[in-house]
Chain A
């Protein structure tokens, strides 16, 4: 599973 860049979400 790839993780999305979590800095993008608030």
Chain B
């Protein structure tokens, strides 16, 4: 564990709490992509199957359980409790275009050809693109509630912080590098660059998040 990892994980935790707060206080899931949230559940479930096989630490275990449980709860809120506030007609990204290629990539690139390891690879590839339905929705509507942009910023910060974490680990753990996680992580962070630009130049200056027409 290093400071970048810890801040990254806390940022991830914060993003989920911000999203829950947004849904509960506005009593609405307007502006949130159900597809992205469903992809995150898939990511967490396929990656964290290792809670049954590898014990790392109480911290690690608790975070994994929290990410699975909280994201499932968000799906419940969107599909049941606040269902009328979710508009599927603007959440139209075709997730099969993400699931298929990620499954193929996982079959091609993995560390061991076992069910657990191939699913782990799949989850890494899928996480890198899971935000696309959400960003696509943002692009379509052209604007977002400020709290939704804070959610996205915290999520993006989590990914961005994993990069210095890997650099730190490379130098402190005798040249270790995880090529699958690093490649997917760089792609994932790159997807946020456009969003970050608008977030820093508009939202943090007190303006509304609006994309140029």
Please report whether the interface of chain B is mostly helix, strand, loop or mixed according to DSSP.
helix
Q: How far is the CA of A4 from the CA of B60 in the complex (A)?
A: 15
Q: Which of the four size classes fits the interface of chain B?
A: 20 to 34
Q: Verify B56–A8 contact, CB threshold 8 A.
A: yes
Q: How far is the CA of A1 from the CA of B5 in the complex (A)?
A: 21
The answer to whether A9 and B181 touch (CB under 8 A), given A3-B111, A4-B169, is yes
Among the listed A3, A5, A9, which residue makes an inter-chain contact with B5, where contact means beta carbons less than 8 Å apart?
A9
Q: How far is the CA of A6 from the CA of B175 in the complex (A)?
A: 15
Q: Verify A10–B178 contact, CB threshold 8 A.
A: no
Q: Verify B173–A4 contact, CB threshold 8 A.
A: yes
Among the listed B12, B54, B177, which residue makes an inter-chain contact with A3, where contact means beta carbons less than 8 Å apart?
B177
Among the listed B54, B67, B174, B177, which residue makes an inter-chain contact with A10, where contact means beta carbons less than 8 Å apart?
B67
Excluding A3-B177, A10-B12, 14 further A-B contacts by CB distance (< 8 Å) are A1-B176, A2-B175, A2-B177, A3-B111, A3-B176, A4-B169, A4-B176, A4-B177, A6-B120, A8-B60, A9-B5, A9-B178, A9-B181, A10-B64
* Residues of B participating in the A interface, judged by any CB pair closer than 8 Å: 5, 9, 12, 50, 54, 56, 60, 63-64, 67, 111, 120, 162, 169, 173-179, 181
* Residues of A participating in the B interface, judged by any CB pair closer than 8 Å: 1-10
